[in-house]
Structure 1
Amino acid sequence: MKNRCQPLVRVQAEDFDIAAEIDRLTAGRKDVGAVVTFTGRCRDEDGKLAALELEHYPGMAEAEIGRIASEAAERWPLTGLTVIHRFGKLLPAENIVLVVAASTHRKAALEAADFLMDYLKSRAPFWKKEHPAGGDTGHWVEAKAADEEALGRWRK
């Protein structure tokens, strides 16, 4: 694609500002007709979860997310793309991941964001440990078969 956007990828401990990320992709742009955001947040699992801990290998996580984001930018005519994934110990209601896809038309932005989330759930190299309420030391979470199955619709 001729005018492919350059995705911005960040892996960070700090929270992110959704409005600021949208503004960064749209400021001064008159060709943006759609901005789709997806924010993944930590759930409390009906009061059973005290925290979710995310670990990663620095450099490796950014590279893989960057590869996935670049593929989205090649597949859809996006004017901008941001992917931010947090790590560390996150409490219920805290943000975990943000995808912001901007395009001239909504379909491209919607599909790109959906694609990215499916791939992030199954391919981003993060390890998740659930810390249950009540002080238990927690346990590592296995990948879900449903997340892997969701990728099937995107394979060429």
Structure 2
Amino acid sequence: MAVRVQEADFDVGAELAALRRGKPQIGALASFVGLVRDVNDGSGVSEMTLEHYPGMTEKALKAIVDQASARWTIIDALVIHRVGRLLPTDQIVLVAVAGSHRGDVFAACQFIMDYLKTRAPFWKREVTGEGARWVDAREADDQAAERWQD
């Protein structure tokens, strides 16, 4: 189970191949890739800057992956989250989960992404035609994460 926070882009195909390499027990692999959109809340977005607390962010991501691993039967997981200046169409995040069966893999992947959006210490600043603004938490993200509460 790996988490990485980095400025550099990532190769989704290479990351997924590495995740499953040497693990013939894997029968399912689910992934999610988040991208920078060129519009948010009705305004054009020309760039986004993601900030985080080094060390604290990785610890929070690891805790989320550990929670998923405790809830579902999975073999491996990977979270890569980029920070720094990003442009529309740039990749922001990769969440990948591998396991024996699709049900656990789909659920764990969605759980990790939902919790990442609401519990990981990242801050987004967008540049729009109206100027720069910090992106507030979304109620829809909180609602998505709430469905996983026991």
For this structure pair, what is the TM-score category when the shorter chain's length is used for normalisation? over 0.9
Name the TM-score, length of structure 2 as normaliser: 0.94
Name the TM-score, length of structure 1 as normaliser: 0.91
Could you say what the CA RMSD is over the residues aligned between the two structures, in angstroms?
1.3
Of 4, 21, 28, which residue of structure 2 is paired with 1:27? 21
Residues of 2 paired with 1:78 and 1:86: CA distance? 24
Identity %: 45
Cα distance change on mapping 1:152 and 1:101 into 2, 3 Å: same
Q: CA shift at 1:28, angstroms? A: 2.1
Residues 86-105 of structure 1 mapped to structure 2, 5 A cutoff:
86-105=82-101
Of 52, 59, 64, which residue of structure 1 is paired with 2:60? 64
> Secondary structure of 2:147's partner?
helix
The answer to whether structure 1 residue 13 and structure 2 residue 14 are counterparts is: no
The answer to whether structure 1 residue 82 and structure 2 residue 78 are counterparts is: yes
Q: Deviations over 1:39-79 (max 9, x none)?
A: 00000018811011100010111010110011111111111
Instruction: Detail structure 1 runs of 4+ shifted over 3 Å in the superposition.
Output: none
Residues of 1 paired with 2:48 and 2:118: CA distance? 17
Unaligned segments of structure 2, at least 5 residues: none
Residues of 2 paired with 1:64 and 1:27: CA distance? 26
Unaligned segments of structure 1, at least 5 residues: 1-6
Corresponding pairs, count? 148
Residues of 2 paired with 1:132 and 1:125: CA distance? 23
